[in-house]
């Protein structure tokens, strides 16, 4: 009896499974979103058919293939149809209210568009327990979907008391405007210590998400079925980049993608990342795919103070595409609305699972994904290899092809970022996040070829824009 | 899309699945154990055929049915055949040595007899990670077995250095006698904090198993294939009760059991427990089973200082059977060799999974199984209902019928233990562990009918035997 879990999967062998014809994702709630993709989305989506592309071949493949199925078989969208909006708004006004924090609202966004399909609302206790203990949820039909990060809504004693025996609550924003209705609610204990220990593998003080969203939250969790009144918007000039899984799927289909590879990031893109992404496309073409499309998918929800903010990252990503480091023709840039947990091997599963729902069947995983330094010890919180190992063994992700990150570094002999060659280590320069930050902060330049000049300029501008805090320290930004 | 995991299962519906004919468990290593059950085992095993039993019918059922299959399809026994013992002993003498602690040896015992089937040795990193993150392990054939508690062997830096490049090590006891060989070894980091957080859901100081077996253990874990030279014995007069899963299976088959229900315990049996067990049998008979057999299965490995020690519990259990509270005819008492983690919902899965391997297809689960008080806060460490909820949803345990514990209490109107009737709460007396301990310590008697007099006498004797420590305190014993 040998117990060797499939640590690596042979992508070619499993490709056939992914390319079976799937029906258009049907929606549990009728959609009412008018998406003018071509006019709204500036650089991320190109509808031109390049002359050199044998488009007809692609379309033939697309017709016979289709994208990977969402978890649970269909994309769960929770935005109420236009025709019911007023009615639902009126109903919400009469219900007990739960006021959402900024992060709660990001989770409403995540749920409303089906990133967490087949979840149809904030978790009830059975889903919460399965998430904590098994990183997966068993559906009624016996199949298992991955779910590693609790998507829960905390309320305090007073809110619980106000809800009383009501079966529904209204979720409202900071101005008390109704955002959603939560029905068939279940209220259960919020054991914060256990949630934190099982999600992060530590209870050390100083975990960013914990400090921000858990420690001071209520002692109860409220789960239920979610109906979101209006699509969640942030009015920050970036909403046009916030494509839903359904919109992304439509875009991939429009482009005739026969493979979609996702790259999750929360940092500026340097040429090492770019190399990796172009190399992945090359490998997929070699495997026989004819039109692999990259989903460059920066995380848009909560990030810790020393990460580069979304708006600056988006500017930087835009430059990277403008400078031709990545091919706009085969790249879709969009914002992933989830908040960041920094929960390493637990969280990378969520990052991968959500991208299945957006149509990605390949996922690039790097060193120490979603990791950070231990908050109180002088070491990384997670083993750098555990992320990709756990991801490759995770229940419910068997359909996804995991593409482990090759290590890229600055090759002094070539004057550019290249895959590290262990036979000549002396030729390579590893530019750490701290190093990158220090350079940008001091308006110095990295070696030529580390990052495209336009992208680097954005970074320098960002650090320039920071007013040093009282102790003269600028928040740290970390690369890769 | 609804996400209601099957919280309760309809036992009758799933019975058919369990009763398919299974071949005799075949063994990965030939067995060399001579088991003289009938002469060695005093009260637990009766080979008489009671006149009133329509044995022929049973045998017909037995022939066409068979016990539940072990996890992974076959029982993994890791004791070397008699013919190879000397050779293996000699080989072990030449290998780098790892000295086993008392608890390590208990795990060797557990592994050697297949309680953790299909594990064939101490966990390698991939099994360890799957255990921590998913409470289950995926086998090469794609099927999933439950595995919630890490079964790992820690070594320190010096031991790691001594092992060097060797592919094998000898595991030796406290007298340096070789116990086993571990082959194809893999040494990986022992992140204690993460292991503790993910197993217990807390890292609070004072967890008994952590203090005893983890905190001062080495910074590395060593996994590999285990070959155990001699069956593990303790020479404490109780070895005759330590039946292996294979022996238990043979016993159940001999008795013509068509259902086996397991009761894990680490405390004295009172009449509330007895009521529960006899009532379970009654329910199984009602379901149509003809010969349900109880596996009364006290845990024999490490327990915390304030639990009643194994030898006293066994004396107490013996009295309970002698006094006729439980029917020896349909009860097998045996010792489960595992150490105790006190890890609540995580550990109860291990307790259930191991009993599948011993042939049990029904598992009785109580309030707060494997739970304890929070080591530093004034509350229970786990929600009292989480154990049975998590157990009922656990991956790899779908084949097992979970029987939730009904609450038994002392019914003053009847003068005996009875199932609590919420319509007349005033009639019931809940006798807590603390209450029971105080009574036994003071040589007072509990109400008539709480525990059989012979069993109670054993408890009083136990507390009598304790020399009070300097502060005059006697360790606390806690009931069920």
Nearest to B383 among A137, A191, A382 (CB): A191
What Å distances lie between residue B223 and A157, B108, B134, B214, B476, CA to CA? Answer: 47, 12, 19, 16, 36
Residues 6+ apart with CB under 8 A from B98: B153, B155, B159, B163, B169, B170, B171, B172, B182, B222
The answer to whether B397 touches B355, Cβ cutoff 8 Å, is no
Query: Reduced to 3 states, what is the DSSP secondary structure of residue B12?
Result: helix
Nearest to A1 among B28, B124, B204 (CB): B28
Q: Which of residues 119-178 of A touch B (CB under 8 A)?
A: 119-120, 124-127, 129-130, 132-140, 144, 148
CB contact under 8 A, A126 and B4: yes
**Residue A364: beta bridge partners?**
A403
Higher pLDDT, A431 or B196: B196
CA distance A224 to B124: 40
CB contact under 8 A, B395 and A127: no
The answer to whether A72 touches A145, Cβ cutoff 8 Å, is yes
CA A393, chain centre distance (Å): 19
- pLDDT value, residue B65: 52
- pLDDT value, residue B325: 87
- B10-44 residue pLDDT tens: 333 222 222 222 233 333 322 322 322 223 333 33
CB contact under 8 A, A5 and B130: yes
- pLDDT value, residue A471: 54
- B434-470 residue pLDDT tens: 788 788 888 888 998 899 999 999 999 999 898 665 4
Buried b / exposed e across B396-431, counting CB within 10 Å, b at 16+?
bbbebbbbbbbebbbbeeeebbbebeeeeeeebeeb
Residues in chain A where the model's pLDDT stays below 70: 1-65, 467-480
- pLDDT value, residue B53: 38
Nearest chain A CA: its distance from B125 CA (Å): 9
CA distance A51 to B48: 88
- B379-438 residue pLDDT tens: 999 999 999 999 999 999 999 999 987 788 999 999 999 999 999 999 999 887 778 878
CB contact under 8 A, A126 and B5: yes
Which three-class secondary structure string do you get for chain A?
CCCCCCCCCCHHHHHHHHCCCCCCCCCCCCCCCCCCHHHHCCCCCCCCCCCCCCHHHHHHHHHHCCCCCCCCCCCCCCECCHHHHHHHHHHHHCCCEEECCHHHHHHHHHHHHCCCCCCCCCCCHHHHHHHHHHCEEECCCCCEEECCCCCCCEECHHHHHHHCCCCEEEEECCCCCEEEEEEEEEEEECCHHHHHHHHHCCCCCCCHHHHHHHCCCCCEEEEEEEEECCCCCCCCCCHHHCCCHHHHHHHHHHCCCCEEEEEEECCCCCHHHHHHHHHHHHHHHHHCCCCEEEEEEEECCCCCCCCCCHHHHHHHHHHHHHCCCCCHHHEEECCECCCCCCCHHHHHHHHHHHHHHCCCCEEEECCCCCCCECCCCCCECCCCCHHHHHHHHCCCCCCCEEEECCCEEEECCCCEEEECCCCCHHHEECCCHHHHHHHHHCCCCCCCCCCCHHHHHHHHHHHHHCCCCCCCCCCCCCCC
Closest CA to B28 of B62, B79, B92, B90: B79
Residue B465 structure tokens: 């035997």
| For A139, nearest residue in chain B (alpha carbons) | B3
- pLDDT value, residue B132: 98
| For B223, nearest residue in chain A (alpha carbons) | A3
- pLDDT value, residue B113: 98
- B131-169 residue pLDDT tens: 999 999 999 999 999 999 999 999 999 999 999 999 999
- A93-127 residue pLDDT tens: 999 999 999 999 999 999 999 999 999 999 999 99
**Residue A428: beta bridge partners?**
A411
CB contact under 8 A, A74 and B133: no
CA distance A105 to A97: 14
The answer to whether B336 touches B263, Cβ cutoff 8 Å, is no
CA distance B62 to A120: 46
The answer to whether B337 touches B115, Cβ cutoff 8 Å, is yes
- pLDDT value, residue B404: 85
Alpha helices in B323-357 (DSSP H): 344-357
Residues in A closer than 8 angstroms to B134, CB to CB, are 134-136, 393-395
What Å distances lie between residue B179 and B77, B80, B98, B227, B229, CA to CA? Answer: 15, 11, 10, 9, 6
Pairing of strands A292-298, A259-265: parallel
Sole residue written with tokens 């349909």: B330
Nearest to B140 among A4, A126, A130 (CB): A4
| For B118, nearest residue in chain A (alpha carbons) | A1
Q: Does B248 touch chain A (CB under 8 A)?
A: no
Residues in A closer than 8 angstroms to B390, CB to CB, are 129, 133
Residues in A closer than 8 angstroms to B223, CB to CB, are none
What Å distances lie between residue B83 and A312, B112, B114, CA to CA? Answer: 72, 17, 21
Nearest chain A CA: its distance from B176 CA (Å): 30
Nearest to B134 among A134, A193, A386 (CB): A134
CB contact under 8 A, B126 and A4: yes
What interface predicted TM-score (ipTM) does this complex get?
0.86
Nearest chain B CA: its distance from A135 CA (Å): 6
CB contact under 8 A, A133 and B346: yes
Mean pLDDT within B172-190: 98
Interface mutation target, options A7, A75, A134, A383, chain B, most CBs of B under 10 Å? A134
Residue B342 structure tokens: 């006190």
The answer to whether B74 touches B114, Cβ cutoff 8 Å, is no
- A315-348 residue pLDDT tens: 999 999 998 889 999 999 999 999 999 999 999 9
CB contact under 8 A, A1 and B117: yes
- pLDDT value, residue B337: 98
Q: Which of residues 65-84 of A touch B (CB under 8 A)?
A: 72, 74, 76
Q: In what order do the strands lie in the sheet with B168-172?
A: B97-99, B168-172, B178-189, B220-228, B154-155
Residues in B closer than 8 angstroms to A193, CB to CB, are 201-202, 204
- A396-406 residue pLDDT tens: 999 999 998 77
Q: Is A413 exposed, middle or buried (0-12, 13-18, 19+ CB in 10 A)?
A: exposed
CB contact under 8 A, A140 and B2: yes
Q: Does B199 touch chain A (CB under 8 A)?
A: no
Q: What is the dihedral of CA A94, A97, A103, A106, to 10 degrees?
A: -20
């Amino acid at each position: 009896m040998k117990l060797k879990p499939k640590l690596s999967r042979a992508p070619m062998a499993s490709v056939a499974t992914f390319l079976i014809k799937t029906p258009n994702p049907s929606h549990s709630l009728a959609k009412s979103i008018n998406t003018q993709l071509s006019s709204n989305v500036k650089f991320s989506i190109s509808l031109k058919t390049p002359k050199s592309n044998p488009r007809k071949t692609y379309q033939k493949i697309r017709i016979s293939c289709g994208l990977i199925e969402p978890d649970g078989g269909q994309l769960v969208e929770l935005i109420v149809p236009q025709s019911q909006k007023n009615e639902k708004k009126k109903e919400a006004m009469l219900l007990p209210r739960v006021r959402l924090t900024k992060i709660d609202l990001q989770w409403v966004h995540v749920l409303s568009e089906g990133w967490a399909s087949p979840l149809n609302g904030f978790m009830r206790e059975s889903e919460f327990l399965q998430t904590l203990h098994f990183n997966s949820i068993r559906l009624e039909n016996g199949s298992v979907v991955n779910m590693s990060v609790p998507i829960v809504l905390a309320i305090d004693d007073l809110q619980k008391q106000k809800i009383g025996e009501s079966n529904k609550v209204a979720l409202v924003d900071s101005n008390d405007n109704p955002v959603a209705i939560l029905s068939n609610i279940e209220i259960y204990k919020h054991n914060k210590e256990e949630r934190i220990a099982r999600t992060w593998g530590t209870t050390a003080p100083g975990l960013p998400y914990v400090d921000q969203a858990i420690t001071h939250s209520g002692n109860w969790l409220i789960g239920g079925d979610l109906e979101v009144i209006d699509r969640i918007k942030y009015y920050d000039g970036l909403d046009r980049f916030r494509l839903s899984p359904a919109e992304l799927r439509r875009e991939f289909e429009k482009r005739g993608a026969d493979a979609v590879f996702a790259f999750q990031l929360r940092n500026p893109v340097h040429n090492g990342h770019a190399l990796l992404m172009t190399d992945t496309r090359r490998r997929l073409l070699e495997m026989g795919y004819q039109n692999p499309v990259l989903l460059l998918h920066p995380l848009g929800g909560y990030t810790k103070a020393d990460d580069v903010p979304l708006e600056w990252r988006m500017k930087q990503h835009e430059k990277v595409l403008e400078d031709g480091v990545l091919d706009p023709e085969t790249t879709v840039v969009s914002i992933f609305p989830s908040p960041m947990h920094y929960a390493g091997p637990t969280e990378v599963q969520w990052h991968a699972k959500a991208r299945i729902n957006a149509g990605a069947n390949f996922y690039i995983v790097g060193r120490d994904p979603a990791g950070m330094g231990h908050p109180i010890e002088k070491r990384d919180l997670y083993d750098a290899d555990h992320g990709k190992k756990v991801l490759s063994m995770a229940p419910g992700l068997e359909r996804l092809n995991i593409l482990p990150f090759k290590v890229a570094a600055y090759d002094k002999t070539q004057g550019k970022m290249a895959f590290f060659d262990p036979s000549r280590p002396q030729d390579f320069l590893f530019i750490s996040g701290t190093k990158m930050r220090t350079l940008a902060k001091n308006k110095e330049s990295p070696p030529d070829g580390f990052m495209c000049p336009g992208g680097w300029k954005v970074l320098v501008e960002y650090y320039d824009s920071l007013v040093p805090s009282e102790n003269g320290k600028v928040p740290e930004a970390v690369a890769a």
